[in-house]
């Protein structure tokens, strides 16, 4: 087996060889602990018939572990300076394709069709750049990709919000936006000491597995998310006050909002963090005729 990329010594060797300097703007923090990488990959339950999509491979530390576990790995890298590095570090693996692209602008479905035809089981496995974690996840979920799910590393604080349950202080519109599509759990917490350079915060790996069906059926998904965002706009306010402030012409429609809350069985004095995704679904459907059918 090839020497692991992700050791402090080998990482330094590679960075020095290419005179590479970290770009803060790209959120570059490279993992330097092979055990943690093996652990991340094990949470994805890949087989020799699986495909893996990676975002921000860096110098290939996680990529090589994916290449050993999966049939095909496609990695999206935005930083042109890393392309020759990856060509070098990943040269022992013939099942890796590096796509030089910003994942937020990429047509990921097209890339999957071209690079992974015939592969039924596909997982996104990545150490996500912290500054764009949420946009990346929401884009990939909204794109309805043919994937089983995600095993991704991010800031622990964001991981806690994504996996939060109703009634906790972390629970919010992000929890609902993600859990509408997937089951979400924290798989492991990762200390900042295993990165180069060290970030200021601890990280966590979360596992997201796609639902066969969403946990609640709604008339309009976009409106559901609009209602949840409005409901959490000011956490200390009641749901009635937040909906009045957050929905278009909400102030003038107080009576209609009260009517919808009653139909959905939600007390107007409750706060957003006490509502389950099912309750938000009922509420969004009750509000829908008053806010979405206006010509």
Domain boundaries, the chain: 8-210, 221-291
Looking at residue 129, what is its pLDDT?
85
User: CB within 8 A of 217, min separation 6: which ones?
Assistant: 281
d(CA 185, CA 47): 21
pLDDT tens across the length of the chain (295 residues)? 677 898 999 999 998 998 888 776 666 788 989 999 999 999 999 999 999 999 999 999 999 999 999 999 999 999 999 999 999 999 999 999 999 999 999 999 999 999 999 999 999 999 998 889 999 999 999 999 999 999 999 999 999 999 999 999 999 999 999 999 999 999 999 999 999 888 888 999 999 999 999 999 999 999 999 999 999 999 899 999 999 999 999 999 999 999 999 999 999 999 999 999 999 999 999 999 999 875 3
- 102: tokens are 């910003």
d(CA 218, CA 280): 10
Residue 29, annotated as binding a ligand: yes
Query: 3-state SS string over 45-108?
Result: CCCCCCEEEEECCCCCHHHHHHHHHCCEEEEEECCHHHHHHHHHHCCCCCCEEEEECCCCCCCH
Signed CA dihedral, 55, 29, 181, 143: sign only: negative
Backbone angles phi, psi at 207, to 5 degrees: -115, 125
Residue 127, annotated as binding a ligand: yes
CATH of 221-291, one of 3.30.210.10, 1.25.40.10, 3.30.300.90, 1.10.8.100: 1.10.8.100
d(CA 133, CA 9): 28
Q: How many alpha carbons fall within 13 Å on the CB side of residue 162?
A: 29
Backbone angles phi, psi at 249, to 5 degrees: 55, 30
Residue 77, annotated as binding a ligand: yes
d(CA 136, CA 239): 29
Residue 54, annotated as binding a ligand: no
Q: Which strand ranges, in their side-by-side order, compose the sheet holding 72-77? A: 96-100, 72-77, 51-55, 122-127, 149-155, 203-210, 182-190
CATH 3.40.50.150 for domain 8-210, yes or no, is yes
Looking at residue 244, what is its pLDDT?
97
Block residue for tokens 């095909």: 72
3-state secondary structure of 145: coil
Looking at residue 295, what is its pLDDT?
39
Q: Which pairs with CB-CB distance under 8 Å and at least 24 residues apart come from 128-134? A: 128/55, 128/56, 128/152, 128/153, 128/154, 129/26, 129/27, 129/28, 129/55, 129/56, 130/27, 130/29, 130/154, 130/155, 130/158, 130/199, 130/201, 131/27, 132/27, 132/104, 133/158, 134/158, 134/174
């Amino acid at each position: 087996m090839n020497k692991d990329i992700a050791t402090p010594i080998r990482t330094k060797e590679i960075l020095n060889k290419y005179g590479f300097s970290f770009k803060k703007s790209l959120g570059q923090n490279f993992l330097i602990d092979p055990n943690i990488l093996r652990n991340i990959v094990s949470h994805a339950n890949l087989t020799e018939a699986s495909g893996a999509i990676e975002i921000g491979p860096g110098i290939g530390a996680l990529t090589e572990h994916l290449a050993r576990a999966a049939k095909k790995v496609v990695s999206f890298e935005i930083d042109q300076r890393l392309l020759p590095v990856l060509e070098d570090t990943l040269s022992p693996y013939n099942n890796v394709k590096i796509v030089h692209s910003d994942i937020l602008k990429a047509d990921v479905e097209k890339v999957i069709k071209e690079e992974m035809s015939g592969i039924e089981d596909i997982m996104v496995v990545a150490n996500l750049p912290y500054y764009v974690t949420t946009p990346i996840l929401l884009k990939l979920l909204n794109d309805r990709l043919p994937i089983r799910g995600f095993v991704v590393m991010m800031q622990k604080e964001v991981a806690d919000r994504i996996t939060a349950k109703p009634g906790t202080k972390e629970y919010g519109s992000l929890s609902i936006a993600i859990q509408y599509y997937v089951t979400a759990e924290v798989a492991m917490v990762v200390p900042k000491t295993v990165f180069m350079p060290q970030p200021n915060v601890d990280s966590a790996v979360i596992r997201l597995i796609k639902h066969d069906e969403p946990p609640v059926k709604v008339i309009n998904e976009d409106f559901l998310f609009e209602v949840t965002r409005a409901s959490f706009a000011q956490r200390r306010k009641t749901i009635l006050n937040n909906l009045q402030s957050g929905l278009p012409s909400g102030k003038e429609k107080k009576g209609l909002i009260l009517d919808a809350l009653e139909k959905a069985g939600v007390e107007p004095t409750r706060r957003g963090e006490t509502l389950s995704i099912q309750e938000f679904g009922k509420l969004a459907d009750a509000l829908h005729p008053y806010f979405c059918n206006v010509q």
